[in-house]
Amino acid sequence: MLVLVIFKHVGDGRPYPDHNLAVKDWVKIEPHEVRLDQLITTKSTLDLHTLLAEDSTLFGDLFPHVVSWRGSLYLEDGLQRTLRAALQGRVAIHARILELVLPEMPLPQTD
């Protein structure tokens, strides 16, 4: 039995801390190929008008934004573009991937 999986998981919300990156910061990150079945969405709904619009990427980044956090890849921006790629039969996309790493919290001092 063949099971088609587009995303690893459909989530709703961002489980990682805020990174405060603006679009101008994202464009400094070089795009890399990522498989769709490795992505966890941060939105569970989308707007079909946006999905089907010919100029949907006209005012945004051409590459989806992905946050790597604790071993998982979260699709933060670009759900429409990514789903459009899946509908075209593609299994991977090029995306900007932010490796989100927070400094370790110091252990409390004990005497």
Q: pTM for this one? A: 0.81
Q: What is the pLDDT of residues 74-84, one digit of tens each?
A: 999 999 889 88
Percent of the chain with pLDDT over 90: 57
pLDDT at 100 exceeding the cut of 80: yes
List CB contacts of 95: < 8 A, sequence separation 6 or more: 31, 32, 34, 63, 64, 65, 66, 75, 78, 82
Mean pLDDT on 27-45: 94
Domain boundaries, the chain: 1-12+25-44+60-101
Q: Other C-beta atoms within 10 Å of 49: how many?
A: 9
Round the average pLDDT of the chain to a whole number and report it.
84
Task: Provide the CB-side half-sphere exposure for 87 (13 A, CA).
Answer: 8
- pLDDT tens digits, one per residue of 47-62: 777 666 665 555 567 8
